[in-house]
A = this chain, B = another copy of it.
Amino acid sequence: MRPLPELAPETLTLASVLYALGDPLRLELVRRVAADPGMTCAPGGLKVPKSTLTNHWRILREAGVIRMAADGRFRRIWLRAEELENRFPGLLDTVLRLSADEPMGAAVP
């Protein structure tokens, strides 16, 4: 399971993390990976083209929100929860808590 390159926590900026989280689909992806660490790229029930998903995962990765590792044919995905907590204490928890009862979160097709 070879890890893919990622940003050092010091280089993350608050604005880029907020930007990455500021999209309904990406918020849903983050919610899912929080609930299912190690999930693969293709979430069930989302009617979104693969190439679009790749792009959204890339934005989350480049903002430092998630980590990916190649595992055979798959990419496994995790939140970088600890590093985010160290760099931006309370942010991820707050967003996950709030997105949990966002009606839109579940309504993403």
Q: Mark A22-49, 1 if CB is under 8 A from B, else 0.
A: 1110010000000000000000000000
B14 touches A102 (CB 8 A): yes
B19 touches A15 (CB 8 A): no
Binding site for B on A (CB under 8 A): 13-24, 27, 88-91, 94-95, 97-99, 102, 104-105
What are 22 A-B residue pairs whose CB atoms fall within 8 Å in the complex? Answer: A13-B24, A13-B102, A13-B104, A14-B98, A14-B102, A14-B104, A15-B21, A15-B23, A15-B24, A15-B104, A17-B22, A18-B22, A18-B27, A18-B95, A19-B19, A19-B23, A22-B22, A88-B98, A89-B98, A90-B98, A91-B95, A91-B98
